[in-house]
């Protein structure tokens, strides 16, 4: 098997799943779902297969990773466990670090997470948690250590982020309890300590006349054709922004008039079928002439191997005159939900199309099958309704009573 090169390492892109690229003598590069690149070495000690963390690329170069791997091999020949030696040389007590437990937890959970969620978890760990106590033995971390880290996040007025980061840490500690790395979860004593926060709903246009004007604005958007198509498609299918940005051509079934989003991309971890209206199919057929040779329906301007940036639709809305208090990329969902409910469509059908997670798994599976034909009708009616709002707005008519 050929050895890795620095050129190959630079060319490796995130694929939405955990991948491993082997070098030699047990050394390999593990690429996370979100694109993080970590050096690992497999080895056996006392009859057990183990894994040694050697740092992240590019902070640790290929040459340095090989040198660390060679040192581990020399220790093994001397009857020394490289993991134990690594911890002792770093001045840490024996036992896995928080980062090591978190890496194992993420690896085990990664197959049921959506790509965007996996990226968010990895980002919060890397930005907030690891710099504070990532390399400490997990059994030595006290509630006060976690709280000090959270207070720094709160100081930035990111109260919801602090709460969610606490939840991530708690899940890592609970996983550590399960594998015997730590005796208890120190986060359990911090639930009432954080500054309370109230979640703000995503801004959305929900008055018919405003939606008509928005659709006209999308038609007149003079920026990228890809972004304009993503805006229009978002309005028509009202899926989550991350799902739209990561849409792939292989997921589009033109014959069945469906977009089938695989479970690993869905927040609820279940495959989601999106019936495509005539108008949504027209958007796809139009953009296929531009992006159809690539992987993503809406690729990044930086390269077809990347999906559209999460800022793409947001910046376009700002360019069209909508600030963050008026309309957001996520607001297309609230816009559709509000108006469809006001139009009298069945709430269960709307919720099924929004792919909201049901606490009753059996009922959720039943509803997905039961409501599919109703959802096909709903999606075409919604697209036709948007056309009517656009037409009325173009005519300059008063539309206070369109409903």
Rounded alpha-carbon distances, angstroms, from residue 98 to 104, 133, 170, 187:
10, 7, 11, 13
Could you tell me which of 275, 296, 279 has the C-alpha nearest to residue 355? 275
Token pair listed for 109: 């959970």
Q: Which residues are tagged catalytic?
A: 240, 267, 330, 333, 356, 366
Please work out, in degrees rounded to the nearest 5, the angle formed at the alpha carbon of residue 78 by the alpha carbons of 73 and 79: 95
**336 or 2, which is more confident:** 336
pLDDT, position 402: 44
Domains of the chain by start residue, with CATH: 6-91 (3.30.160.390), 101-189 (1.10.150.130), 208-394 (1.10.443.10)
The residue that leads in pLDDT, 140 or 67, is: 67
Q: Are 264 and 113 in contact (CB under 8 A)?
A: yes
pLDDT digits (tens, 9 = 90+) for 356-381: 765 455 445 545 555 888 999 999 99
Q: Higher pLDDT residue, 16 or 236?
A: 236
What's the rounded mean pLDDT across residues 117-140?
86
pTM of full prediction above 0.85: no
- Give the pLDDT confidence of 174-217 residue by residue, as tens digits: 999 888 888 889 898 787 788 776 555 677 888 888 999 999 99
Beta-ladder partners of 40: 28, 53
Taking only the tens place, the pLDDT of each residue in 256-311 is 999 999 887 887 667 889 999 999 999 999 999 999 999 999 999 888 888 998 88
Q: What is the pLDDT of residue 358?
A: 56
Q: Among 111-115, 242-246, 390-394, where is mean pLDDT lowest? A: 111-115
* Sequential DSSP letters for 176-227: HHHTTS-SS-GGGG-TTTSPP--PPPPP---SHHHHHHHHHHHHT--S-HHH
pLDDT, average across residues 341-359 = 81
Write the burial class of residue 77 (CB in 10 Å: 0-12 exposed, 13-18 middle, 19+ buried). Answer: exposed
376-390 burial code (b ≥16 CB/10 A, e <16): bebbbebbebbeebb
Give the confidence band of 403 by pLDDT, cuts at 50, 70, 90: very low
- Residues 249 and 287: beta-carbon distance below 8 Å: no
**Averaged pLDDT of the chain:** 84
Instruction: Classify strands 27-31 and 19-22 as parallel, antiparallel or unpaired.
Output: antiparallel
Element (DSSP H or E) covering residue 164: helix 159-178
* CA-based nearest residue to 386, from 226, 209, 130, 143: 209
Structure confidence at residue 54 (pLDDT)? 83
């Amino acid at each position: 098997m050929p050895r890795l090169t620095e050129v190959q390492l630079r060319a490796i892109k995130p694929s939405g799943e955990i991948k491993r690229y082997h070098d030699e003598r047990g050394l390999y590069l593990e690429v996370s779902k979100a694109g993080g690149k970590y050096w690992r070495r497999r080895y056996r000690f006392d009859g057990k297969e183990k894994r040694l963390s050697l740092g992240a690329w590019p902070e640790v170069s290929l040459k340095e990773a090989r040198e660390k791997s060679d040192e581990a091999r020399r220790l093994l020949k001397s009857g020394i466990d490289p993991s134990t030696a690594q911890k002792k040389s770093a001045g840490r007590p024996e036992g896995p670090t928080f980062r090591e437990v978190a890496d194992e937890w993420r690896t085990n959970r990664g197959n049921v997470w959506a790509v965007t969620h996996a990226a968010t978890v990895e980002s919060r760990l890397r930005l907030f948690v690891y710099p504070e106590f990532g390399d400490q033995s997990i059994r030595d971390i006290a509630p006060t250590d976690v709280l000090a880290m959270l207070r720094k996040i709160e100081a930035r007025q990111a109260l919801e982020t602090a709460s969610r980061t606490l939840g991530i840490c708690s899940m890592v500690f609970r996983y550590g309890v399960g594998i015997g790395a730590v005796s208890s979860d120190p986060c359990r004593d911090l639930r009432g300590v954080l500054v309370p926060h109230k979640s703000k709903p995503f801004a959305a246009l929900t008055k018919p006349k405003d939606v008509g004007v928005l659709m006209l604005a999308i038609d007149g958007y003079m920026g990228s054709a890809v972004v304009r198509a993503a805006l229009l498609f978002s309005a028509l299918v009202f899926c989550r922004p991350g799902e739209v940005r990561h849409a792939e051509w292989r997921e589009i079934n033109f014959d069945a008039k469906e977009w089938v989003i695989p479970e690993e991309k869905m927040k609820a971890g279940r495959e989601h079928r999106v019936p495509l209206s005539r108008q949504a199919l027209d958007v796809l057929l139009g953009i296929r002439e531009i992006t159809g040779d690539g992987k993503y329906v809406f690729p990044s301007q930086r390269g077809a191997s990347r999906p559209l940036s999460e800022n793409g639709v947001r910046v376009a809305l700002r360019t069209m005159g909508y600030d963050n208090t008026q309309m957001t990329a996520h607001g297309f969902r609230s816009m559709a939900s509000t108006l469809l409910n006001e139009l009298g469509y069945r709430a269960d059908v709307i919720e099924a199309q929004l792919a909201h997670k049901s606490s009753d798994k059996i009922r959720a599976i039943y509803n997905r099958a039961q409501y599919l034909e109703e959802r096909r009708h709903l999606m075409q009616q919604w697209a036709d309704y948007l056309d009517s709002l656009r037409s009325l707005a173009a005519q300059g008519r008063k539309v206070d009573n369109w409903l």
